[in-house]
Structure 1
């Protein structure tokens, strides 16, 4: 019988790619999520009966145990960028992560992979980063043999980074940027998924891995790359951190008044996070150590950002026609 893996958050941005790769490798997969009906699309990644969405909330002991029982491996991809209600940073990143690892140990799960975040640091001014670090500590306390993956900004077709700013560029002549000089090392979501699957398959991979792509650029530079891809000229407007903190405070207050109906465009904690570079440290193990060759942004961004171009899908046809006319002129 094929091996069974439970992927907590297996229908999310990173989780769905991990689920798809595991299916290609022949695993049976439980996609453990809070809303299984919204994860039914993951069934198409495998053959009938190979992938089954199940209910689980990492804040709930019983549901985590049921989703984990009889599994050979567990992957936890659950995380929040903006806390809401009971899904606080501490509840999800710290307590939830520790709960998954502890129950995996109690249930005799062979391999545990935990997806954290680059910048996880118990001394960080950002609560997001501190709770990510606390979650890593909780995971390792329960499972010293766990694999912890720390990706930088993750990009891919469903990302909330390049897509978000490309959508803004389609409507606005200005791209406001907080932390314009803060450096990032964006990593392709398929590379993160490959790293997770390789970590499961290799018993010698225990420990922490920092995942970044082959390119490092600051926030403003990443916006310039995005604008080049979508063929738009926009003003990139660097804004000071104090302005971001003020806007974040007002946005959070409005969100609280509307009981979460209005999502803050930026939070004070995100501004704190932007004060530090988000790049792989020189001594850290990374993608290469997990058998993955990092994918450059230029190989991927045009494949999913083309809808934001002025001519959308027809931009490629236009460019092809221009090249054809140029060849004809050269031949004449």
Structure 2
């Protein structure tokens, strides 16, 4: 059993997809972890990620700075994982990813935290046509203005057992005979394993990342949108028609779909698909990548079949052919 230290890490958004992996990675290193979330009752499953009492949950909402300040009190390091893909009411991109990011950084600085790791996204750009990308860029700017030595992590599309990427397309293939290739399926991704992103976060808390530096995190393989869908169909043992869908048509459909309780597609996502989501050549050359940190990234081929089997017609009993 790992000995629990007296160093405390506050993790905002720790109950989310990447958060659960980050909490486990930090727990393995012996940190005490305070998970700051809007609904602590929904984060109770994280208590088993460490020893008894090592992981606790507290209430915090990035729209309310007082709750953020209370959550970071006494913390040696702070991690901000809060991010949303869909806007709903007061929970807007601006509130969660721009204002909220700045509130966490200011609170971390005031509390005397030694390290701050801020998780953003590849494609963050104030000049983007996507409100999501703009808010991510504004969040990074606010973080570095308040906490200049912070480490910023920009992952590509993150995958893992609970992802909303490979799982989403596999679920679509269960019920639809046709899968849309938005923009012709040429958009490129560099899917990165959630466990590897978590290790990069832990490296930042350990003090092994360069202060004030932005890292771009991608997996070992670059895949086009078409290749992603073909991979999902191969793993789930299904045959579906891949139908090219121009961006203009996809945008019109997204305007209607965005009002669904859990939208399958939004206009903002269509906009994001117009640009590749891969690690830049500059980041790779400057070793601001997983490999540069010393992490060998896992491939989708190695990890995804272990959780997409449930989308096969006979689940784990489906006969696998070469």
TM-score, L = length of structure 2: 0.94
| Aligned position for 2:262 | 263
The CA RMSD measured in Å over matched residues stands at: 1.3
Cα deviation, 1:257-287, whole Å, max 9, x if unaligned, reads xxxxx23221111111110010100111110
The reply to whether residue 290 of structure 1 matches residue 296 of structure 2 is no
Question: Are the aligned partners of 1:11 and 1:39 in contact in 2 as well (CA < 8 Å)?
Answer: yes
C-alpha distance in 1 between matches for 2:31 and 2:191: 28
2:196 to 168, 183, 191: 191
The reply to whether residue 76 of structure 1 matches residue 76 of structure 2 is no
Question: Are the aligned partners of 1:211 and 1:287 in contact in 2 as well (CA < 8 Å)?
Answer: yes
Larger radius of gyration: 1
Question: Are the aligned partners of 1:199 and 1:290 in contact in 2 as well (CA < 8 Å)?
Answer: no
| Aligned position for 1:148 | 152
C-alpha distance in 1 between matches for 2:190 and 2:84: 20
The reply to whether residue 172 of structure 1 matches residue 176 of structure 2 is yes
Map 1:12-31 onto structure 2 (within 5 A): 12-31=16-35
Structure 1 residue 250: Cα displacement: 2.1
C-alpha distance in 2 between matches for 1:116 and 1:59: 18
TM-score, L = length of structure 1: 0.91
C-alpha distance in 1 between matches for 2:160 and 2:271: 25
2:308 to 276, 294, 305: 305
1:237 to 233, 239, 243: 243
Aligned residue pairs: how many? 312
Question: Are the aligned partners of 2:209 and 2:293 in contact in 1 as well (CA < 8 Å)?
Answer: no
SS of the residue 1:176 aligns to: strand
SS of the residue 1:109 aligns to: coil
| Aligned position for 1:274 | 273
C-alpha distance in 2 between matches for 1:32 and 1:236: 42
Cα deviation, 1:72-125, whole Å, max 9, x if unaligned, reads 000000000001111100111100001100110011011000000000011111
Question: Are the aligned partners of 1:188 and 1:294 in contact in 2 as well (CA < 8 Å)?
Answer: yes
Question: Are the aligned partners of 2:115 and 2:207 in contact in 1 as well (CA < 8 Å)?
Answer: no
Question: Are the aligned partners of 1:6 and 1:29 in contact in 2 as well (CA < 8 Å)?
Answer: yes
Structure 1 residue 247: Cα displacement: 1.3
C-alpha distance in 1 between matches for 2:167 and 2:208: 36
| Aligned position for 2:105 | 101
The reply to whether residue 246 of structure 1 matches residue 252 of structure 2 is yes
C-alpha distance in 1 between matches for 2:303 and 2:243: 26
SS of the residue 1:313 aligns to: helix
C-alpha distance in 2 between matches for 1:149 and 1:310: 38
SS of the residue 1:145 aligns to: coil
Which structure 2 residue ranges, 5 or more long, are not aligned? none
| Aligned position for 1:326 | none
Question: Are the aligned partners of 2:203 and 2:209 in contact in 1 as well (CA < 8 Å)?
Answer: no
C-alpha distance in 1 between matches for 2:89 and 2:156: 26
Question: Are the aligned partners of 1:156 and 1:301 in contact in 2 as well (CA < 8 Å)?
Answer: yes
SS of the residue 1:289 aligns to: helix
Structure 1 segments of 4 or more deviating over 6 A? none
Which structure 1 residue ranges, 5 or more long, are not aligned? 256-261, 324-332
